[in-house]
């Protein structure tokens, strides 16, 4: 024989569930509100420029990335020469991934600046850096594509100055 039924209708079941939830909330409302406040503040802070504070190591990596993009032809040339010496396609691939991540983070910051300040001097500076990063990335990807095909092809094009970065560097 089973236990007798406590609630005979859906309304009774819902009312009992509401009462149980209310009793729990009355007991744990401080903890619940703390969690809610913490989640709200975290969500609120991610939409502003306040969270862009970086550690010194992160600033150094960003500075290195920007320096790389300010001299894109020398950077791509060093990657190409390194490949010709080592025949290591993975190193070019790592550089492409790193530049892609860097471009993505710059794009994120540019979007935040656009949201906070609009299009202005800050946005224009970041846009210039973003364009240089995109250009450098496309040049590295070109070398990587040739490297995937054949080492001799890269050597021949490099010797004949037939790669795009070599033509642009003139």
Q: Is 9 exposed, middle or buried (0-12, 13-18, 19+ CB in 10 A)?
A: exposed
Q: What is the pLDDT of residues 108-143, one digit of tens each?
A: 888 887 887 778 777 788 888 888 888 888 888 888
Quick check: 26 pLDDT over 90?
A: yes
Cα 168 from Cα 150, distance rounded (Å): 23
For the chain, percent helix, then strand, then coil, each to nearest 5? 85, 0, 15
Q: What is the pLDDT of residues 53-96, one digit of tens each?
A: 444 455 455 555 555 555 778 888 888 888 888 888 888 888 88
What mean pLDDT do residues 153-169 have? 77
60 CB neighbour count, 10 Å cutoff: 11
Query: What are the phi and psi torsion angles at 54 (to 5°)?
Result: -120, 155
């Amino acid at each position: 024989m089973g236990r007798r039924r406590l609630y005979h209708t859906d309304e009774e079941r819902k009312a009992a569930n509401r009462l149980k939830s209310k009793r729990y909330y009355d007991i744990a409302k401080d903890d619940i509100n703390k969690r809610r406040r913490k989640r709200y503040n975290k969500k609120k802070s991610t939409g502003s420029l306040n969270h862009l504070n970086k550690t010194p190591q992160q600033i150094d990596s960003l500075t290195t990335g920007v320096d790389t993009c300010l001299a894109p032809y020398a950077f791509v040339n060093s990657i190409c020469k390194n490949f010709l010496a080592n025949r290591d396609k993975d190193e070019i691939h790592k550089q492409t991934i790193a530049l892609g991540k860097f471009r993505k983070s710059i794009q994120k910051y540019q979007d935040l600046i656009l949201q906070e300040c609009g299009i202005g001097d800050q946005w224009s500076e970041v846009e210039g850096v973003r364009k240089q990063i995109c250009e450098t990335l496309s040049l590295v990807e070109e070398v990587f594509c040739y490297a995937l095909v054949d080492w001799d092809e890269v050597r021949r094009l490099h010797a004949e100055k037939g790669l795009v970065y070599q033509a642009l560097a003139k």
